[in-house]
Amino acid sequence: MKKFIAIVVILIILGGAGFFFGWAQLEVPPGSYGVIRSKLYGVDPQVIKEGEFRWVWFKLIPTNVDIQAYSLGRMSRDLKSSGTLPSGDVYADLAGLKADFSWEISGEFSFSLKPDILPSLLERENIQGQDSLEAYEKAYADKIEAFVLQRLQTYGRDEAKLAALLLSGSLPELDSAAQAAFPEIENFACLVRAARYPDYELYNAAKGLYGEYIARQQATLRDDVARGAEARMHARLRLDELAQYGELLTKYPILLQYLTLEKDVNPSPAGGGQ
């Protein structure tokens, strides 16, 4: 009986030790995410998360597993975008206006990386440690910033979208576009703090005047081109006619003598009056 109890106790101890050494969360601090690197299996695709129990059997193999902990904070970046409505300076000059058709938006955007992409990200980018991950986040934020600025420049030319930005300070369409363009991020948000935009009504009026001016210029140009083309056509026909006479006289020289005799027989009225 004592032997049986001893065996049970030993099994319990071994089981407890196995449970303890295979418990993956023990090496991950609160608020962090763990990634398992195994010498036998490489990078484990499942992230160790706080509050989710994870027991890994191959962690029991000595020196086989290295668990790296990473913090994924929220990344924020200030941004500023400005521009001018298409051909705004041209329209203003033609209409004799001292109008400024430029616009400007300033604000910030923020995001965080999805925890579940950590294993593939670490393996793909060869990230080793928190500093390496933060460097990747900054480079990724640069790409997102370029995308957001390009979209804001596009929205700055759209009166309705710019008005929506000014009214609410955000634009769901922009948030959705950023999430779709950068699937590794979550909780993206862009907040507009200040904005300056042009007088769209005045811009559209100046644009209309410019269109009318171009239309009149084109009509005048068409008339000039038509008259010039008609004159060139008459000149070309006259040259072709003379060329035909030349060819005929070259081929039949006697016609020249005939024409000379006809002129002598039938002198012009001006010549007959002298």
Same domain, 22 and 99: no
User: Do residues 26 and 50 share a domain?
Assistant: yes
More confident residue, 53 or 127: 127
Q: Could you say which of 185, 203, 221 is where a domain stops?
A: 203
pLDDT tens readout for residues 79-113: 887 888 778 777 777 767 777 788 788 889 999 99
- For residue 248, what is the DSSP state? H
Question: 184 and 110, same structural domain?
Answer: yes
> Is residue 239, in this structure, part of any structural domain at all?
no
Give yes or no: residues 41 and 84 share one domain.
Answer: no
Between 32 and 39, residue with greater pLDDT: 32
Q: Place 47 in a pLDDT band, splitting at 50, 70 and 90.
A: confident
Any domain includes 231: no
Is the predicted pLDDT of residue 122 greater than 80, yes or no? Answer: yes
Decide which of 147, 178, 203 is a domain's last residue: 203
* 84, 192: one domain: yes
Residue that is last in its domain, among 70, 100, 127: 70
- Whether 9 is in a domain gets the answer yes
**Can you give the three-state secondary structure of 133-187, one letter per residue?**
HHHHHHHHHHHHHHHHHHHHHHHCCCHHHHHHHHHHCCCHHHHHHHHHHCCCEEE
pLDDT band at 274 (very low <50, low <70, confident <90, very high): very low
pLDDT digit string, tens, across residues 156-200: 667 777 777 777 777 888 899 999 999 999 999 998 888 777 777
Per the model's pLDDT, the better-predicted residue between 263 and 142 turns out to be 142
Q: What is the DSSP letter of 48?
A: B
Question: For residue 187, is it within any domain?
Answer: yes
Residues 96 and 138 in one domain: yes
Q: Is residue 269 part of a domain?
A: no
Same domain, 35 and 107: no
pLDDT value of position 178 = 93
- Residues 253 and 85: their CA atoms lie apart, in Å, by 73
Report, as an integer, the average pLDDT of 195-220: 77
Whether residue 34 is found in the same domain as residue 61: yes
Q: Considering the entire predicted model, what is its pTM?
A: 0.61
Average pLDDT along the chain: 74
- At residue 22, the pLDDT reads 43
pLDDT exceeds 60 at position 20: no
d(CA 140, CA 114): 13
Q: Say whether pLDDT at 12 is over 70.
A: no
Helices 254-265 & 200-251 angle (0-180, nearest 10) = 90
| Most confident listed range (117-121, 202-206, 227-231) | 117-121
Residues 47 and 31: their CA atoms lie apart, in Å, by: 13
pLDDT at 208: 82
230 in any annotated domain = no
Q: What is the pLDDT of residues 53-81, one digit of tens each?
A: 666 655 556 666 677 888 888 999 998 87
Q: Do 107 and 181 lie in a common domain?
A: yes
Domain check: are 142 and 195 in the same one?
yes
Domain enclosing residue 36, as ranges: 2-70
For residue 232, what is the enclosing H or E element?
Answer: helix 200-251
Residues 16 and 113 in one domain: no
Whether residues 131 and 158 share a domain: the answer is yes
Query: Number of structural domains, the chain?
Result: 2
> Among the listed ranges 72-76, 120-124, 198-202, 256-260, which one has the minimum average pLDDT value?
256-260
221 in any annotated domain: no
Instruction: Name every residue whose Cβ is closer than 8 Å to that of residue 196 and which is 6 or more positions away in sequence.
Output: 102, 103, 104, 105
- Residue 117 located in a structural domain: yes
